[in-house]
Amino acid sequence: MLWFDLDDTLWDMTGNSTEVLRRLHAEVATIARAYPEGPESWLDTYHRMNAELWRDYALGKISRAYLRRERFAGPLRAGGIGEVEAVATADYLDTYYLKLLGRCTRMLPGARELLESIERAKLPKPGIISNGFVDVQHNKLRSSGIADCFSSIILSDDIGVNKPDRRLFDYALEQSGTSAEESTIVGDNPMTDILGALRAGWARAIWYNPKGLPVPPELEPYLAGGLKVASTLEEVGAMIGALT
């Protein structure tokens, strides 16, 4: 069975999130006061802190609630906002940001065409395996019009563990009735998506690597086996076709 990560593999998380964050800077006075020079400093600070929090969340070092608050409270503190106001504003921003994000529809270049090619080839519907939050991920799929492209939606919230924890990969196999030997993952994160699946015994992995990043040392042994690297989703489609 074929599985996809969602954010920044098919759905343009970076682009959609940036659009929403710019809107927040324009609408929320506390953010504008913290970053009066304009949205770029706000965006840079948020993205840096958010990436660090998601790394810790994937490793189980912090809770879901802590991530959701601190990705806004941290940048507000960094902009000089006091603790009480930063926390109160962060609680509001978390709800509003996720509401707006779930309405965004932008996909990565070639993503819709890739899903359409899988359908035209009459291949089994793929699954989604994601560390995202349940309500938001389903909203993204519905808003983008791709929810029906997938047979299984497996999210970290379902069992309280995140990729690269093999328990999430094992859970996906159990819920879909498939085996690791017949499973392929496509994802943009080499450690959580790709290494996580391969260490869980999945037979194949396609690392979508549009930035041309070097292969991490942990993945190098798999290059002689089930690991492929693609720089575009068109290349991903060709690799999937070669598997069938």
- Tens-digit pLDDT string for the chain (244 aa): 999 999 999 999 999 999 999 999 999 999 999 999 999 999 999 999 999 999 999 888 999 899 999 999 999 999 999 999 999 999 999 999 999 999 999 999 999 999 999 999 999 999 999 998 898 999 999 999 999 999 999 999 989 999 999 999 999 999 999 999 999 999 999 999 999 999 999 999 999 999 999 999 999 999 999 999 999 999 999 999 988 6
Round to whole Å and give the CA distance between 33 and 218.
44
How far apart CA 83 and CA 183 sit, in angstroms, is: 47
Name which of 232, 67, 52 is nearest 136 in CA terms. 67
Q: What angle do CA 216, 43, 67 make, to 5 degrees?
A: 65
**194-to-9, 218, 223 alpha-carbon distances in Å:** 12, 10, 12
The gap from C-alpha 190 to its chain's centroid, in whole angstroms, comes to 12
CB burial of 202-220 (b: ≥16 within 10 Å; e: otherwise) equals bbbbbbbbeeeeeeeeebe
Residue 147, CA distances (Å) to 6, 74, 134 in order? 11, 33, 13
Instruction: Report the C-alpha gap between 7 and 150 in whole angstroms.
Output: 15
pLDDT at 59: 86
Rounded Cα gap, residues 125 and 19, in angstroms: 30
- Both tokens of residue 221? 């042994």
Q: Which domains does the chain have, with CATH numbers?
A: 2-12+106-243 (3.40.50.1000), 13-101 (1.10.150.240)
215 residue type, one letter? V
Q: Quick one: pLDDT at residue 135?
A: 86
pTM over 0.75: yes
Q: What's the confidence (pLDDT) of residue 167?
A: 96
